[in-house]
Amino acid sequence: MAVMFALLTTRRFGPLFVTQFLGAFNDNLFKTAFIFLVAFHLRAGDPVGTATLATAAAGIFTLPFLLFSGLSGEISDARDKAMIARGVKIAEIGFMALGTAALLLQSEGLCLAVIFLMGTHSTVFGPVKYAILPQHLREDELLLGTGLVEGATFVAILLGQIAGGLLPAGLAGPIALAVAVAGWLASRFIPAAPPASAVPIDWNPLTASRRALGEAFGNRKLRIATVCISWFWALGAIYTSQFVPLAKNDLGGSEGVATLFLAAFSIGVAAGSAMVSRLLRGHISTRLSPWAGLVMAAAGIDLLFSERALHGAAGDIAMFLGDPRGWRVLADLLVLAIAGGIFSVPLYGVLQTATNPAGRARAIAANNIVNAAFQVGGVLAIGAAISRGASVPAVLLAAGLTVVLLIPLLRRLPR
């Protein structure tokens, strides 16, 4: 714990940590505020329209990752990453000013445009926040720094969603603007991170993405790490997208119980991400990842049985926490999420170290492209299964058990 706080207080890491945390928080604050505005005001009597716009918002936010990640990797490899971070944060201030106006005007089209811009902001910043770490951290700090970034991302998503749901639309916009300004101020303290690449930037998004994917999938370590990380993020997207229907329809719980599930999952991933460096003593090694995958599968199996035991009796948060069966559900979610953090963080370490520094950001960019594709594909596949009659607990179990397919791949990575 002392090592963690010591790293957070250094200029080499602290400002980057704060910058990325506030950015992830803002993305989810604005998206959630928009969805609540639509659901409770603009389309209060139109559940189909509300669901359609919520799905559209998620897709529009993800689209830039598919379109521009390759170009973002090119830029991050060829320019000072600290300067890119500051430029991205200045852009975020403009986007949130526009977002404030969109929420005040209650304009669905303008809000969706801002969501696309925020997705673009995150796309550009994505390669920076991981590729910059090996330039600023010692080898024995890299795993801890990576784990803190990933864990903080999940916590920021949770807090942003909660804030977006609680704040009135008229207040959410100004707060998001203030958070963007705070992120820019933090970014000004990120130390310089000059490029290692002298290769000209390919400004064509399509060919840049093709180059990034080609380099990543041409390297066995990068290929395996990218597929396994993308599987984990897809699983996270599947679980978090189904917490509300799981709590309400299968367990008979309130919105508070669904939020509790999201909190347990986010905090669990953050805890696992933070502790894996200590478990591995700072060494970048994937030796724990297969075991963590098996723990995730076992927790998913027990989650199915614990959900069946509680079926229809969750109630509100007080009732849920007053029932030992509720604590079993919560424990399964926590164990699954903690194991997920232990599973994924060392794989990011592989991405950061298995390539030449001149192409490190492109490796992260390729991972982001595949991540986005896996998340969209996973959520669509689960949605199709549920629409054909599969139960939410059953599809969550099926999704979790697919980790077994990855274990042979993981064992091919250097231990």
**What's residue 257's pLDDT?**
85
Domain shared by 125 and 237, yes or no = no
Domain final residue, candidates 141, 163, 191: 191
Residues 6 or more apart whose CB falls under 8 angstroms from that of 394 comprise 304
The Cα–Cα gap between 309 and 235 comes to 23
Report CA-CA distances (Å) from 77 to 86, 179, 197, 215, 361. 16, 27, 6, 14, 6
CA distance 154 to 266: 5
Residues shown for the chain: 415
Judge if 61 and 136 occupy the same domain: yes
Please indicate, yes or no, if residue 292 is contained in any of the structural domains: yes
Give the single-character DSSP code of 316.
S
Chunked into runs of 10 residues, the chain (415 residues) has average pLDDT values of: 83 95 94 85 74 80 92 93 96 96 93 95 93 91 92 91 87 95 96 84 92 91 93 88 77 82 90 91 89 93 88 83 90 94 93 86 93 88 80 86 91 77
Of 191, 213, 232, which residue sits at a domain end? 191
Q: Are residues 241 and 165 in the same domain?
A: no
Task: Map residue 291 onto helix, strand or coil.
Answer: helix
Judgement on whether residues 388 and 285 belong to the same structural domain of the protein: yes
Same domain, residue pair 234 and 256: yes
**3 is a domain residue:** no
The answer to whether position 186 is within a domain reads yes
Two tokens, residue 72: 């973002």
| Domain identity same for 131 and 210 | no
3-state secondary structure of 349: helix
**Coil, strand, or helix at residue 104?**
helix
As a whole number of angstroms, the distance between CA 289 and CA 406 comes to 10
CA 40, distance to chain mean position in Å, is 26
- The predicted pLDDT at position 197 comes to 73
Question: Residue 370's domain is classified under what CATH number?
Answer: 1.20.1250.20
Query: Is the residue at 253 inside a domain?
Result: yes
Distance, in Å, from the CA atom of 141 to the CA atom of 154, rounded to the nearest integer, reads 20
Q: What is the pLDDT of residue 415?
A: 65
DSSP code per residue over 137-180: S-HHHHHHHHHHHHHHHHHHHHHHHHHHHHS-HHHHHHHHHHHH
| Residue 196 within a domain | no
Residue 132 lies in domain: 8-191
For the beta carbon of residue 408, count every other beta carbon within 10 angstroms: 10
Q: Please indicate, yes or no, whether residues 185 and 64 belong to a single structural domain of this protein.
A: yes
Last-in-domain residue among 191, 220, 240: 191
Token pair for 173 = 């916009």
pLDDT of 147 reads 92
Do 236 and 338 reside in the same domain of the chain? yes
Residues 271 and 151 sit within 8 Å (Cβ to Cβ)? yes
Domain count, the chain: 2
Q: Do the domain assignments include residue 197?
A: no
Q: Determine contact, residues 231/289, Cβ cutoff 8 Å.
A: no
95 plus 118 within the same structural domain? yes
Picking from 215, 207, 219, 222, the residue whose alpha carbon sits closest to that of residue 70 is 207
- Please indicate, yes or no, whether residues 179 and 245 belong to a single structural domain of this protein: no
The answer to whether 192 and 53 have CB atoms below 8 angstroms apart is: no
Residue 2 lies in a domain: no
Q: 51 in the Ramachandran plot: left (φ > 0), alpha (ψ -120 to 50) or beta?
A: alpha
What's at 341, amino acid-wise?
A: G
1 found inside a domain: no
Instruction: Clarify whether residues 134 and 157 are in a common domain.
Output: yes
CA 191, CA 83: separation in Å to the nearest integer? 9
Query: Within this chain, do residues 176 and 250 fall inside the same structural domain, yes or no?
Result: no
Residue keyed to tokens 């009659």: 389
